[in-house]
Structure 1
Amino acid sequence: MAKPIHHIEKRVPTKAEEQAEAIGEIMSLIANNREAITTSLEILQELHSTGVLDAVKGLLKTREKVGVLAMGQLNQPNMHNTIKNAINMVKLVGEMDPEKVNTLMSAVMSGLDQMGEQDGKVSKWRLIKSMNDPDVLASIATMTGFLQGMGKEFNTNQKSFH
């Protein structure tokens, strides 16, 4: 019969062996993620060359003072309205149809260009005559639609700026 085992020797790695194993794991991770690490280093280099890293480093070193200043600015009475308005503007921009905005911006730019070509003198007769121009009628129809939509929203929400 076999003898019973009374003592089990547990192998404890030395500090040098633990470090070698940790380095091996890190090297394996680096090899497996070479492209991501290279890209990250390129980004860090660009941030460093533009001075952004220095600014962030300075910000982190003085984070307590900066935090106190930021909180002081945020606690000003008008700042709450500013933040709410900024959030509402971001929501508005997000709800806008990009094609419509593009068309509107192109129309505004074209209108500004045309405005620059005017000689500045408009008689009543010329103004009335311009009402027959299809481009002028399209602009008036667009503005009328805009005003109707805006008025409908005011009436729906019982909001007025009077």
Structure 2
Amino acid sequence: MATPITSIKKTERTEMEVQQEKLADLQKQLAEQEESLQKLIEITSELHTIGALDALQAMLQSKEKIAGIAVGQVSREPVTNILNNLLAAAGTLTAVNPATVQQLSHSVQQGLHEAEQGVEEGQKTGVLQLMKAINDPDINRAVTFGMNFLKGMGKGLNDPTE
């Protein structure tokens, strides 16, 4: 029978051997990714040629100044006003029935198309034509819609809770 193993010797690699192994792994990875690395080098070279790398480096070195400028620009009153207006408009749109908005949008587009045609044809409207036009069902519907809209808006302007 064989003699039993009484001690196990762990072979420790030297730091030089570890570095050699890492270098061999790195060489293997570089060889496997040759095409990708070539493209990366070409892109980097092109960015350097047009000065983009220098600009990027300058931006990174001045990141705190750039952030300060950006915050200063965003906090200006016109910018905060537009953001507040966008939020208010979004709130209004969420409260309105999407089908109504879609129908109104379609109606506005159709109205603009007819208005363009009238301008191109050089149409002029007199007082009598205006009085007769109110009998046209399409015009009457639009005028009634506008009057009801104005009435509702007037009520809203008079409401102190809003």
Which bin holds the TM-score, normalised by the shorter protein?
A: 0.5 to 0.7
Q: 1:124-143 maps to which residues of 2 (within 5 A)?
A: 124-143=127-146
* Structure 1 residue 151, shift from structure 2 partner: 4.8
How far apart, in 1, do the equivalents of 2:31 and 2:94 lie? 45
How far apart, in 2, do the equivalents of 1:19 and 1:101 lie? 69
Residues 77 and 114 (structure 1 numbering): CA distance in 2 closer, same or farther, change over 3 Å? same
> What secondary structure is seen at the aligned counterpart in 1 of 2:5?
coil
* Structure 1 residue 140, shift from structure 2 partner: 1.6
* Partner in structure 1 of residue 6 of structure 2: 4
How far apart, in 2, do the equivalents of 1:105 and 1:56 lie? 47
How far apart, in 2, do the equivalents of 1:56 and 1:112 lie? 51
* Structure 1 residue 104, shift from structure 2 partner: 3.8
Query: Structure 1, residues 104-124: CA drift from partner, whole Å, max 9, x if none?
Result: 442242243144147564332
* Partner in structure 2 of residue 33 of structure 1: none
* Partner in structure 2 of residue 84 of structure 1: 84
* Structure 1 residue 87, shift from structure 2 partner: 3.2
How far apart, in 2, do the equivalents of 1:83 and 1:71 lie? 14
Structure 2: stretches of 5+ with no match in the other structure = none
* Partner in structure 1 of residue 21 of structure 2: 17
How far apart, in 2, do the equivalents of 1:155 and 1:66 lie? 46
Query: Normalized against structure 2, the TM-score is what?
Result: 0.55
How far apart, in 1, do the equivalents of 2:146 and 2:22 lie? 75
Calculate the aligned-residue CA RMSD, in Å: 4.5
How far apart, in 2, do the equivalents of 1:22 and 1:62 lie? 34
* Structure 1 residue 142, shift from structure 2 partner: 3.1
How far apart, in 2, do the equivalents of 1:27 and 1:111 lie? 68
Structure 1: stretches of 5+ with no match in the other structure = 31-36
Same amino acid, percent of matched pairs: 20
How far apart, in 2, do the equivalents of 1:3 and 1:63 lie? 64
Query: Normalized against structure 1, the TM-score is what?
Result: 0.55
Residues 122 and 61 (structure 1 numbering): CA distance in 2 closer, same or farther, change over 3 Å? same
